[in-house]
């Protein structure tokens, strides 16, 4: 028996064989209960698949079971399209899409499935400062041997996982996984460029288009409608942000430039009540400065006659000097009353020396006055 036959036989013995009812794959308008995928991923219900397996049971499988079994991956990571390998596999419909986008519990359990498959491929999720990344774990070398090679069935599984994560609301996880795969592709050169192209389409293309859809007129109609509505809402939100930003910038410019001048009253104070107090304060300060300047000028003008009266002509200075020479000096008279023993010896001053001293004093005083 060939390798593929061995895997199918082992899968049948381990997990049984059963066809999956198309009625259970999505939502049934005639049925009040939620779609199967919602009940399977919900913590409250933990529904079993047609093989009797719960989500918790599948995630507890060893790596060997994950490798040889081929009918669980379509349940863990459903797509809006049917599977060519499992015609009865559940698919994502509009009700499932909205349920996963609205319910954090469903997305968290989907994240557990993603983490389990990451470990199977040699990776793990890591969050640093709010940034999500997919990095190698300690046993990555052994795990890489299962899929880092050309033409491996896990490459199709990886394409499915990326697209399913995006459809069910885990865009960041899908992007982090793609970045890790791109690193493996660039470094080891054991994965074909065709496979890398499918992974790139799974992460970049609109959700309504599958990676193998080459005609944009094809695709899932209801998903295309949802994406168009989301895109419209995003554009409107972006435009609202732009308008608000422009309004704020315009307000700032108005504050910087100031408002247009308002009509003024007789006092020069603007009638605008928003700035009246400030302008009135400025006016009062200017008025006080003006009054102070006028007061100083008045004092200066009144002091000029007194200054002029105190200033004497040079001839008058000489007369005053001669008068002072003729009048007795109190200090000299007091000195003359001293005894001869108390007086210091002073050489007599001639009239020529006195006249010469007066002439020098007048000359110095004149230079000082001119300056």
Tens of pLDDT, residue by residue over 246-304, are: 777 766 665 555 555 555 555 554 455 545 566 666 566 666 666 666 666 666 566 55
pLDDT of residue 248: 74
User: Are residues 209 and 301 located together in one domain of the fold?
Assistant: no
Residue 344 confidence class, pLDDT cut points 50, 70, 90: very low
Q: Which of 169, 152, 161, 173 is nearest to 202 (CA)?
A: 161
What is the DSSP code (8-state) at residue 53?
-
pLDDT at residue 149 is higher than 70: yes
Q: Which of 99, 85, 265 is nearest to 160 (CA)?
A: 85
User: Are residues 291 and 215 located together in one domain of the fold?
Assistant: no
Residue 245: inside a domain: no
User: Are residues 38 and 169 located together in one domain of the fold?
Assistant: yes
What is the DSSP code (8-state) at residue 82?
P
Residue 314: inside a domain: no
- 3-state DSSP call for residue 132? strand
Residue 333 confidence class, pLDDT cut points 50, 70, 90: very low
User: Are residues 31 and 86 located together in one domain of the fold?
Assistant: yes
Give me the domain span that covers residue 8: 3-219
- 3-state DSSP call for residue 136? strand
H or E segment and range at residue 127: strand 123-128
- Domain final position from 305, 332, 364: 305
Backbone angles phi, psi at 331, to 5 degrees: -65, -35
Task: Please tell me the pTM assigned to this model.
Answer: 0.61
User: Are residues 77 and 214 located together in one domain of the fold?
Assistant: yes
Mean pLDDT over residues 135-154, rounded?
Answer: 94
Mean pLDDT over residues 2-24, rounded?
Answer: 42
Confirm if 148 and 188 have CB atoms less than 8 A apart.
yes
Q: Where are the alpha helices (DSSP H) in the chain?
A: 3-15, 22-25, 36-41, 55-59, 63-68, 73-76, 94-102, 104-121, 140-144, 154-167, 171-188, 193-204, 221-257, 276-310, 314-326, 330-336, 351-370
Q: Which of 189, 199, 186 is nearest to 154 (CA)?
A: 199
Residue 240: inside a domain: no
pLDDT of residue 50: 87
User: Are residues 22 and 170 located together in one domain of the fold?
Assistant: yes
**Rounded distance between C-alpha atoms, residue 139 and residue 146, angstroms:** 12
Q: What rounded mean pLDDT belongs to the chain?
A: 75
- 3-state DSSP call for residue 167? helix
- The more confidently predicted of residues 327 and 48 is 48
Distances (CA, A) of 75 to 10, 24, 173, 337: 19, 12, 18, 137
Number of structural domains the chain divides into: 2
User: Are residues 40 and 163 located together in one domain of the fold?
Assistant: yes
- The more confidently predicted of residues 362 and 199 is 199
Lowest-pLDDT choice from 33-47, 125-139, 219-233, 247-261: 247-261
Residue 88: inside a domain: yes
- Domain final position from 255, 287, 305: 305
Instruction: Tell how far CA 201 is from the center of its chain.
Output: 31
- 3-state DSSP call for residue 277? helix
pLDDT of residue 112: 98
pLDDT at residue 111 is higher than 80: yes
Residue 19: inside a domain: yes
Q: Where are the alpha helices (DSSP H) in 258-350?
A: 276-310, 314-326, 330-336
**With pLDDT > 70 as the criterion, what percentage of the chain qualifies?**
58
Confirm if 116 and 47 have CB atoms less than 8 A apart.
no
Exposure string over 31-40, b if 16+ CB within 10 A, otherwise e: eeebbbbbbb
**Rounded distance between C-alpha atoms, residue 74 and residue 95, angstroms:** 18
pLDDT of residue 343: 40
- The more confidently predicted of residues 59 and 27 is 59
Residue 231: inside a domain: no
Q: Which of 220, 194, 197 is nearest to 209 (CA)?
A: 220
- The more confidently predicted of residues 165 and 19 is 165
**Rounded distance between C-alpha atoms, residue 288 and residue 295, angstroms:** 11
Which range of 208-222, 262-276, 342-356 scores highest in mean pLDDT? It is 208-222
Confirm if 132 and 172 have CB atoms less than 8 A apart.
yes
- Domain final position from 219, 248, 277: 219
pLDDT of residue 38: 98
**Rounded distance between C-alpha atoms, residue 76 and residue 157, angstroms:** 11
User: Are residues 167 and 285 located together in one domain of the fold?
Assistant: no
User: Are residues 206 and 283 located together in one domain of the fold?
Assistant: no
User: Are residues 283 and 197 located together in one domain of the fold?
Assistant: no
Which residues neighbour 188 within 8 Å (Cβ) at sequence distance 6 or greater? 144, 148
pLDDT (tens digit per residue) in 153-200: 999 999 999 999 999 999 999 999 999 999 999 999 899 999 999 999
Residue 334: inside a domain: no
What is the DSSP code (8-state) at residue 215?
-
User: Are residues 277 and 184 located together in one domain of the fold?
Assistant: no
Q: Which of 56, 29, 31 is nearest to 41 (CA)?
A: 56
pLDDT of residue 266: 53
- Residue 110 CB-density burial (10 A; 0-12 exposed, 13-18 middle, 19+ buried): buried
User: Are residues 95 and 40 located together in one domain of the fold?
Assistant: yes
pLDDT at residue 9 is higher than 50: no
**Rounded distance between C-alpha atoms, residue 116 and residue 241, angstroms:** 40
**With pLDDT > 90 as the criterion, what percentage of the chain qualifies?**
46
Longest CA–CA span in the chain (Å) reads: 156
Q: Which of 146, 156, 224, 236 is nearest to 190 (CA)?
A: 146
Q: Is the dihedral of CA 233, 114, 145, 72 positive or negative?
A: negative
pLDDT at residue 340 is higher than 50: no
Residue 147: inside a domain: yes
Lowest-pLDDT choice from 78-82, 238-242, 327-331: 327-331
């Amino acid at each position: 028996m060939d390798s593929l036959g061995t895997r199918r036989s082992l899968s049948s013995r381990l997990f049984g064989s059963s066809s999956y009812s198309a009625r259970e794959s999505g939502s049934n308008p005639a049925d009040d209960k939620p779609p199967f995928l919602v009940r399977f991923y919900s913590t409250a219900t933990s529904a079993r698949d047609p093989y009797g397996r719960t989500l918790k049971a599948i995630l507890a499988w060893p790596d060997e079971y994950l490798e040889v079994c081929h009918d669980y991956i379509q349940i863990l990571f459903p797509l809006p399209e049917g599977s060519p390998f499992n015609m009865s596999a559940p698919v994502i419909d509009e009700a499932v899409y909205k349920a996963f986008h609205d319910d954090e519990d469903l997305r968290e359990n989907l994240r557990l499935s993603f983490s389990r498959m990451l470990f199977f491929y040699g990776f793990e999720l890591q969050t640093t400062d709010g940034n999500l990344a997919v990095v190698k774990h300690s046993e990555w070398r052994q795990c890489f041997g299962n899929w880092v090679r050309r033409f491996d069935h896990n490459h199709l599984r990886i394409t499915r996982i990326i697209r399913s994560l995006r459809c069910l609301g885990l865009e960041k996880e899908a992007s982090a996984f793609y970045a890790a795969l791109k690193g493996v592709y660039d470094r080891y050169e054991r994965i074909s460029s065709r496979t890398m192209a499918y992974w790139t389409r799974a992460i970049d293309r609109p959700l309504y288009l599958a990676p193998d859809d080459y005609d944009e007129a094809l695709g899932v109609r209801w998903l295309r409608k949802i994406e168009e509505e989301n895109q419209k809402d995003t554009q409107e939100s972006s435009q609202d942000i732009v308008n608000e930003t422009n309004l704020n910038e315009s307000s700032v410019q108005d504050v910087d430039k100031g408002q247009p001048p308002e009509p003024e009253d007789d006092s020069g104070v603007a009638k605008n009540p928003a700035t009246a107090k400030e302008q009135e304060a400025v006016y009062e300060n200017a008025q006080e400065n003006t009054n102070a300047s006028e007061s100083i000028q008045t004092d200066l003008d009144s002091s000029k006659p007194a200054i002029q009266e105190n200033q004497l002509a040079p001839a008058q200075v000489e007369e005053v000097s001669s008068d002072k020479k003729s009048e007795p000096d109190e200090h000299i008279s007091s000195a003359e009353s001293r005894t001869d023993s108390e007086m210091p010896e002073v050489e007599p001053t001639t009239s020529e020396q006195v006249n010469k001293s007066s002439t020098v004093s007048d000359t110095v005083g004149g230079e000082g006055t001119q300056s």
